Structure 1
Amino acid sequence: MRSNGNGNIAPPGSTYKDKPSGALLTVNAKWISWVHTTVAYTAFISALLVGCSLHYHKIVKNEFYGYPDEWFPSVSATIGDRYPERSFFQFFIAITSGPRFALVGLWYLLTAKPGKMLPKFVGSMGLLRTITCGGWTYITSTDDHDWHDIFMISYLVLTIPWTFGCLALSPPNAKAIKYRKYLATAFFGTIVPLIYFFIQHKVYHVAGAYTTYAFFEWSLILFDVAFDAVTALDFATFEIVVRDVGGLSQGENKSRVPTKVLEKEKSNATGGVFDAKFSWKELFDTGAEVYHGFVFWSMLTSLGVVIWYFPLWHMGISGYEALVMSTISPLFLGVKSIRSLVINNLRVCHFLSLAGLLAWMIKDPAYRLFTVGFGVWMACLSWAATLFSDNVHEARLESKILAWTVGLILSSTVKFAWWTNNPIWPIMHAANGGKNEIGLALAVMAAWRFTRRAPLNTGVAPDNTVAGSAFLSALGIGGLFFGLHSLLSDTSTMILWVWEGYPIKGPLSTTHGWLTVATMTAGLLTGISHPRLVSTWSGYGIGCVGAAVLTSYHNWLGYSGALLTAFYLTAIASPLLAQAAQKRPATTFGLGFLIYNFVVLFHVWVVAYAFVPGGPLVREHTDWVMITMMVLIGGGVWNLTSTNARRRESRKPFPSQTQHRKYHSSALVLINVFFLISAYFRFPANDYKPYHEDSRVLTAGIWTIHFSLDNDMYSSEYRMRDLIKELEIDVVGLLESDLQRIIMGNRDTTQFLAEDLGMYVDYGPGPNKHTWGAALLSKFPILNSTHHLLPSPVGELAPAIHATLDCYGELVDVFVFHSGQEEDPEDRRLQSEYLSKLMGSSPRPSILLSYLVTEPLRGNYNTYVSPTSGMHDVDPSDWDRWCEYILYKRLNRVGYARVSRSTITDTELQVAKFVVPKGDAEKATVAALESDQQLRNRKVKEHEVPEGWRFPAMFRGKGVRDHRYHVFDEPLYYKPE
């Protein structure tokens, strides 16, 4: 044997540069990488040059702007549909496929080791990634938009394991590792501004934003291809016959940098996720733990919704509110015999907690509530006992804590994918998007796997020498669970706290919700890896600043506070829970959940003050709620800081990486990817059209939706959607629509309705404005909207929206308003005067969609319908109204109908049709009718009005699904002459 010239031993009879015996051709494998890189770049650059030369103005034009506002084409516009640039691209990209498959195969041969699963996994990801690349390059969005998107999303998702897998498997080559780190960072770092500028273009219609987006899109292509080009540095010692003449596949290291140093650098680049040996057992354990944590949060977040149903229908305290105390079951762990019984039968207890998932099958609302309450009771008892039973094993305890907290992030993500409903809640079923059967089946399997290990601490009282106060720990647990539940159980909650209307100046629930999940993920991982760092008073101060900014400010500044709050709450969760598990569970979790319950009631009282004893004392004091939350958490931090100070010298360092951390980190990555995929499919189209554009008809409706719970305690979004769609409503005001509280499930009905119906949405005054909610959905663009809180010195706050719409090129103002309750006449009088002046201040055509609590032609009615407001009643002869009214001015009212609610809510849907006048002549005609009431209210038969003015015939007679025209038994039509 002799050296090949590089310090390695060559086989006898050969040299490094000679062709192997019998070989017809010897090619260094690095040329595969160079050919792939060259041809791939040629495919894109040739298409760009040809496209700019032949069709420049066409390929820089998008649906909103063209040259000179947009002056650089996107990748999709360049390689898409035009000849010959599309042909240039597809010609060269087809040639690229051969080297690409070879590159993936060579990478597998280079990295494959006996008994290692990771090289096989990464190789399969590279193969699938190559196939999906062919899908989106040969099927353009014009050919088949859905399949183009499916292949593109799949390609981007597969890029994640391919990139991190290549980093993890990198041979000990310092230069290659460095380039891969830089290029991977650049690739993933580019995605954030890419999404930002796409939103600026698609949602906000900012001129020039698409050009900036295009530069980031092209950068992704350059970084993506360059990342794979780095393989040339690793393939330099491969020759194609194929023989490994460098010995890298056998683990030899020719680098001057020590292998251990390079391996550590690889570990840092990948976060250590791929360092551990793959284990199917650990994989199943992690999946079961995370899903079981998801089930806990699903049941806990459902409890408030099913409780809320009863005071909602009783219009006051019903007695069922006592079930909120279902969470205090860990108090019973203070009895030694019960604690021992529970801990020694944890599997039984966890299985009994799944009763909460069976509740959807129970039709009677009261029994369903009791079933959910029992499930939550057993869940809180079981989890507290589980954490206590594992407190003597640091790794097992941390694994359970991660399961609990990652389960919360999964719950928030699943809620986002289901438009803020959880598919396994008891208010869901097959008819409204529920997946209860699948959820229950997975829960049974997860609970079985979750409880497979025997408890380590079998019920003996914890060591009294453990530092810290159990009472302070309970304070921290109470504040922590309230913060996690009230602010982080849905990604849209804090976004709606800072929502201020149109034009949009802050985040949107559909397009920016992932930032909350990403921040929660970062906070949780920081709390696990650096528990002492986040357990300091400086960390607590950052959390307090975040909570204060969230409470005090709006738009992006307020949302920055929301992200700080999300980061801190998830970061401090692990240290607080870990310490609570070391103490008596009856105190830390039992008392902790009791405190949590009182804060939950506190945060409901601030808006429900008109219906509860002592309510006026805390009226509109969300700031007090946030202060209470942070003070409680401060008690837990005080406990942590004193404990850390005492143990600083003696405590052994916590391992930086353990097996379960890697699997839970991988679960977090998958959850984030799932969120981003859901966000892609939920991205707003913003190209909505009214139903009768040719007739210039605007169909407007008002509906009090009773918090989206029907009479049978099921979520009513789907049924509402169907009726609104079938009535062809273009603009609808929704009242009692603010569901962003624990007691209402932290939901947002408007998201589902807006996306499914294709409408713009203004949520109205946010949850921190202490109203029951007013929302506006519109087929027409909302140019501007202002939120108002009307005078309410005694009773509940009265919210209002004043929005300006672009209706067929004309500006039309729409007011959505919910007045105070009947018991407070002075409030209602002041509100009528305020709103009358507000409507009168608009010189434009206007519509009021409202809940007025007054009789027709009497009392405050004559303030709303008055010379001050300039508004007219949609039909003064309709004597059967008390709450809902539609008023208008400077529009041609052509139809009016009242449609029965079925069992969706407690209030009918009222609808009116208007024709938006066009040109001076039509506007003058409408203006002339303003002063002639008799002519304005002249009724005609349906056959006398055009087809586009008519209401759907399907609701005549008995109607459909218990929806029918009622009171008048048919719609009313008007045709003044």
Structure 2
Amino acid sequence: MASSSSRSYKDKDAGVVLSFNGQWVSWSHTVAASLAFLSALVIGSALHYHKIVQNEWYGYPQEWFPSVSATIGDRYPERSIFMLFIAITSGPRFALVGLWYLLTAKPGQTLPKLIGWSGIIRTLTCGGWTYITSTDDHDWHDILMISYIVFTIPWTTGCIALSPPNAKAVKYRKYIAGAFFGTLVPLVYFFIQHKVHRVAGAYTIYAFFEWALIVLDVSFDAVTALDFDSLEITIRDVKGASKGVNHSSVPTAVLEKEKEQATGGVYSAGFRFGEFLDIAADVYHGFVFWSILTSLGVVIWYFPLWHMGISGYEALVMTTISPFLLAIRPLRSFIVSNQRITHLLSLAGLLAYLVKDPVYRLFTVGFGVSMGCLSWAATWYSDSVQPTRLEARILAWTIGLLMSSVAKFAWYTNNPIWPIMHAENGGWNATGLFLAILAALRFTRRGPHQGGNTTEKKSGSSVLSAIGIGGLFFGLHSLLSDTSTMILWVWDGYPIRGPVSNVHGWYTIAAMTAGILIGVLRPGFATSWTAYGLGCIGAAYLTLYEQWRGYYGGLTLAAYLMAIAVPMIGNAAKKSPAATFGLGFLIYNFLVLFHVWVVAYAFVPGGPLVREHTDWIMITMMLALGIGLFDLISQQAKNNNSSKKKVGVIRPVNTHHRKYHFGVLGVLNLLFLSANFLRFPTNDYKPYHAKDRLFTAGIWTIHFSLDNDMWSSEYRMRDLIKEMEVDVIGLLESDLQRVIMGNRDTTQFLAEDLGMYVDYGPGPNKHTWGAALLSKFPIVNSTHHLLPSPVGELAPAIHATLDVYGTLVDVFVFHSGQEEDPEDRRLQSEYLSKLMGSTNRPSVLLSYLVTEPLKGNYNTYVSDVSGMHDVDKTDWDRWCEYILFKGLRRTGYARVSRSTITDTELQVAKFVVPNSEEDSKFAWGVPEDVRDRRVEEHEVPEGWRFPRMFRGEGVRGHRYHVFDEPRYYNF
């Protein structure tokens, strides 16, 4: 055994000039890294204690322990000393990675190379985030830190999997790695408590967990000292550890099993790049299917919007029932034998973005959907005789849904390859199409296992199985195609008492991931009535409760839907594909229409029968799943009794593909968390004219964020709102969380990009067309109202209280019922008038009233009961949008043309908040003739004026219109 001390001598036989034990590399790395952080902590605390414990909300004594970033960040001399030791650490760090590779590399194995490269990249990114602080460049600091954490996962799990047979080292690595990843949970929790909820002292607790991560990270690499003592640096293996010789008292088989359990078996069967490409292509192809399917509703929805009723194009929702064609045996034989053709034809749904005419674009997407549904049904059917391959196909399809949700989160609930996207609004259509072609070619490179004329196994009822498939497909699409859908179901306003889309969306992804793992690894539980009962309870909680209780129910349901997908689709694939998947998609279509009619009851025949019955939808979905489960369990029992063989649940012999699928799941979760980190709220909400105590309020009916040419309109809306310097805006027709609307949420993008707080308003399970509020000012409290609507559509309203320059101001956002129901509109006007009159605070109404100025219900809204005044009662041209106010100094009013964004203009008004008791009394008691006195633009201060860029012809089709210029008031 080599001595642990350095020695220099001349050995002609071995050629050794300098030799020292390999564990010194580990110790030098540990010492240098520890000195870097500890020296910064000690020196920073001694010289700048109060400064490094100070954060954006609190300082000493509420916060009394500094975070890592504050300690190593910006101040001299601790930053310089830290960087000096980090530079010293880099040498041992690279040497440690190199020695580990040499120790673990075996002929013909790829895994040691991959882990070695991950160690190198991890080292480089470590230098990146430590040398580039958040003050130097916040974005690059975050990117490099996220990358470091991402590459830490394969490094730690790979080191455990490749550990030499040393029981002590394996045990330490397991414990330290578990503690490291376990610490991330409270770390994120206390960061949210600090950043979002502004809890005093939360950042100090967060700092302790952050320092714990540093200690655990350094400790994990320090364990290599237990393995490197078998190496002498020239380099020579003096113990034979690199050959797999076991020097411990624990049997090698036991250690290998322990390592496999610690890494989930992901690394147990080696790594083949070709197989990895197969799985990656399969999952991406599944993602493409879900992208095309989820886009169909959006492009269909465009037409009833502009026809204000049924247009006829809704019939294209039936393009999904194309698997019925597989009932024709010659055609089925051709499709099954030529799957590459139909899978490639399905990509027409991605190519549709090049079709400018909305009608032809819809038909192109419809064709892509029909080919996609037909292709996947044929693929599942043809692979049903080979359980391993069938499981791999189903996993690709389900993980493709998860990938679609990840992509939508990163693109603020739009899918970057949808046909409503293009380069101008953030689309990646060309890139997505190119990758889709490669994926489809790879996906179909292997021939089918059975031809199209093979007789199906008569195992159970195809009809019962189809009912289950219909319920499954609808549940996956309606609830899990976007991570914010279930969160908005349980949203109930401010103060925040439940999950938030851009903070807690990963919980949905985690539940979906857990469901996939349960379905694959514990199919017996996934197909049990116990699991079904839990799914039913989750559905009930999601439907009946708000806040966290409702969301926990949603997570339970999400896990169940993903868990049952693999066995249920596997069961259906063994029967007639025309019956199970054709009828299944037909039932899915029925549920999709049901899903729309509960809110669109005023525009469809028979709509009042299902008015506001989302609970009926959930019951129908769960009953359908139960019927499919009954067929599946019946087949299990029947086959157990006859041949002791369960054919209802897929039990592949070869599960080698799972490690790649699980690896893809891990990567997708990491990508989501990375996007989650980048989207984390910054709380940088600054009004445009704070010095003037002025705020600009606006109302805009955004027509579900589809412009006149069928493009997603968020970017164009963002530009106009920003350039008009709007501080508070009400958005109407804003609830897009339905299958037919793509399960989208425009408010997320607008709020985060413009730096605004957001109240989504009544959620999608409240059966309205939506009302949302965005504000540069903190929303102190908000309540949601559904106004009386005995005949027509529900009228949503938000009553929010804002902290505007230290003064509480109430803002009401309201959408009245349609013109055809006068009694509804009368009752709604009375309700809202009383609601506005219930507050004695300064108030603004941002609304869609469906009334003429000075006539009818107008005099209920503008009345002594409400106390509200019209922003400009001489504006005779209004019919829908109105701004009312009280207790504020109105200084300006303008109407801005919409261009082709929507069908309604943007109306804005400027108000000054009284800053003294005298001003406040004046604002409340000013005579009408004084309040409505108009003045010229030059008579008001510069900060009160509207942007000049929209005068005359304006820009991008936006200009001041009706008056051709803004109106100004002074009193």
* TM superposition score category, shorter chain reference: over 0.9
1:135-146 map, 5 Å:
135-146=128-139
CA contact (8 A) 1:187 1:220 kept: yes
Match of 1:404 in 2: 397
Q: Distance in 1 between matches of 2:19 and 2:673?
A: 46
**Which 5+ residue runs of structure 1 have no aligned equivalent?**
7-13
CA contact (8 A) 2:2 2:21 kept: no
Q: Distance in 1 between matches of 2:94 and 2:492?
A: 52
What do the CA deviations read for 1:351-400 (whole angstroms, capped 9, x no partner)? 11111111111122111111111111111011100110111111111111
Match of 1:307 in 2: 300
1:948-967 map, 5 Å:
948-967=943-962
1:975 aligned to 2:962?
no
Q: Distance in 1 between matches of 2:775 and 2:828?
A: 25
What do the CA deviations read for 1:260-285 (whole angstroms, capped 9, x no partner)? 22111111111111122322221221
- Specify the code of the residue in structure 2 equivalent to 1:759: M
> Matched residue of 2:280: which SS?
helix
Q: Distance in 2 between matches of 1:533 and 1:415?
A: 31
- Among 440, 450, 458, the residue aligned to 2:451: 458
Match of 2:941 in 1: 946
Q: Distance in 2 between matches of 1:20 and 1:510?
A: 65
- Among 114, 119, 125, the residue aligned to 1:126: 119
Structure 1 residue 549: Cα displacement = 0.8
1:910 aligned to 2:903?
no
> Matched residue of 1:275: which SS?
coil
- CA-based RMSD: 1.7
Q: Distance in 1 between matches of 2:131 and 2:273?
A: 37
Structure 1 residue 25: Cα displacement = 4.7
Q: Distance in 2 between matches of 1:20 and 1:689?
A: 75
Q: Distance in 1 between matches of 2:15 and 2:584?
A: 78
Q: Distance in 2 between matches of 1:463 and 1:367?
A: 38
Q: Distance in 1 between matches of 2:373 and 2:645?
A: 33
Match of 1:563 in 2: 555
- Among 873, 877, 882, the residue aligned to 1:880: 877
Structure 1 residue 22: Cα displacement = 6.6
1:599 aligned to 2:599?
no
Which deviates further from its counterpart, 283-292 or 41-50?
41-50
1:718 aligned to 2:715?
yes
Which deviates further from its counterpart, 99-108 or 843-852?
99-108
Structure 1 residue 655: Cα displacement = 5.1
Match of 1:363 in 2: 356
CA contact (8 A) 1:758 1:779 kept: yes
| Shift in alpha-carbon separation, 1:933–1:854, aligned structure 2, 3 A | same
Structure 1 residue 286: Cα displacement = 1.1
Match of 2:77 in 1: 84
Structure 1 residue 670: Cα displacement = 1.2
- Among 600, 614, 617, the residue aligned to 1:622: 614
CA contact (8 A) 1:306 1:713 kept: yes
1:479 aligned to 2:471?
yes
Match of 2:508 in 1: 516
1:341 aligned to 2:371?
no
CA contact (8 A) 1:783 1:804 kept: yes
Which deviates further from its counterpart, 223-232 or 277-286?
277-286
Q: Distance in 1 between matches of 2:952 and 2:646?
A: 78
Q: Distance in 2 between matches of 1:711 and 1:23?
A: 78
Q: Distance in 2 between matches of 1:65 and 1:380?
A: 56
- Specify the code of the residue in structure 1 equivalent to 2:810: D
- Among 203, 207, 211, the residue aligned to 1:210: 203
Structure 1 residue 656: Cα displacement = 7.6
> Matched residue of 1:610: which SS?
helix
Match of 1:191 in 2: 184
Q: Distance in 2 between matches of 1:30 and 1:326?
A: 65
- Specify the code of the residue in structure 2 equivalent to 1:518: A
Q: Distance in 2 between matches of 1:257 and 1:821?
A: 77
Match of 2:785 in 1: 788
Which deviates further from its counterpart, 109-118 or 404-413?
109-118
Which deviates further from its counterpart, 384-393 or 171-180?
171-180
What do the CA deviations read for 1:604-653 (whole angstroms, capped 9, x no partner)? 11111111111111111111101111100001111121122233423499
- Specify the code of the residue in structure 2 equivalent to 1:468: G
| Shift in alpha-carbon separation, 1:663–1:867, aligned structure 2, 3 A | same
1:385 aligned to 2:378?
yes
- Specify the code of the residue in structure 1 equivalent to 2:944: W
- Among 791, 794, 816, the residue aligned to 2:813: 816
> Matched residue of 1:815: which SS?
strand
What do the CA deviations read for 1:856-911 (whole angstroms, capped 9, x no partner)? 11111111111111110000100111110000011100000001111111111100
- Among 385, 396, 411, the residue aligned to 1:418: 411
1:103 aligned to 2:100?
no
Match of 1:9 in 2: none
1:724-763 map, 5 Å:
724-763=721-760
Q: Percent identity?
A: 72
| Shift in alpha-carbon separation, 1:50–1:657, aligned structure 2, 3 A | farther
- Specify the code of the residue in structure 1 equivalent to 2:199: V
Q: Distance in 2 between matches of 1:634 and 1:246?
A: 60
- Among 36, 39, 42, the residue aligned to 2:35: 42
Structure 1 residue 20: Cα displacement = 9.4
Match of 1:10 in 2: none
Which deviates further from its counterpart, 382-391 or 673-682?
673-682
Q: Distance in 2 between matches of 1:163 and 1:762?
A: 41
- Specify the code of the residue in structure 1 equivalent to 2:531: G
- Specify the code of the residue in structure 1 equivalent to 2:938: H
1:234 aligned to 2:231?
no
- Specify the code of the residue in structure 1 equivalent to 2:118: M
- Among 771, 775, 785, the residue aligned to 2:772: 775
What do the CA deviations read for 1:450-470 (whole angstroms, capped 9, x no partner)? 1111111111243434x3221
CA contact (8 A) 1:272 1:657 kept: no
Structure 1 residue 481: Cα displacement = 0.3
Match of 2:498 in 1: 506
- Among 46, 61, 83, the residue aligned to 2:54: 61
CA contact (8 A) 1:19 1:26 kept: no
Q: Distance in 2 between matches of 1:551 and 1:656?
A: 40
Q: Distance in 1 between matches of 2:559 and 2:646?
A: 26
What do the CA deviations read for 1:410-457 (whole angstroms, capped 9, x no partner)? 111101111111111111111111111111111111111111111111
CA contact (8 A) 1:817 1:849 kept: yes
Q: Distance in 1 between matches of 2:888 and 2:387?
A: 70
* Residue correspondences, number: 960
- Among 924, 928, 932, the residue aligned to 1:933: 928
- Specify the code of the residue in structure 2 equivalent to 1:117: T
Q: Distance in 2 between matches of 1:830 and 1:211?
A: 53
> Matched residue of 2:602: which SS?
coil
Q: Distance in 2 between matches of 1:435 and 1:149?
A: 24
CA contact (8 A) 2:387 2:652 kept: no
1:469 aligned to 2:461?
yes
1:274 aligned to 2:267?
yes
Which deviates further from its counterpart, 305-314 or 278-287?
278-287
- Specify the code of the residue in structure 2 equivalent to 1:827: D
Match of 2:276 in 1: 283
CA contact (8 A) 1:774 1:816 kept: yes
Match of 2:578 in 1: 586
- Among 894, 907, 918, the residue aligned to 1:897: 894
1:668 aligned to 2:668?
no
CA contact (8 A) 1:59 1:78 kept: yes
What do the CA deviations read for 1:49-98 (whole angstroms, capped 9, x no partner)? 22223322221110001122212111111111122322332232222222
- Among 696, 706, 729, the residue aligned to 1:709: 706
CA contact (8 A) 1:532 1:644 kept: no
| Shift in alpha-carbon separation, 1:824–1:559, aligned structure 2, 3 A | same
- Specify the code of the residue in structure 1 equivalent to 2:969: Y
Q: Distance in 2 between matches of 1:955 and 1:411?
A: 39
What do the CA deviations read for 1:804-834 (whole angstroms, capped 9, x no partner)? 1111111111110001111111111111111
How does the TM-score come out when normalised to structure 2? 0.97
Match of 2:800 in 1: 803
Structure 1 residue 144: Cα displacement = 2.2
Structure 1 residue 140: Cα displacement = 1.4
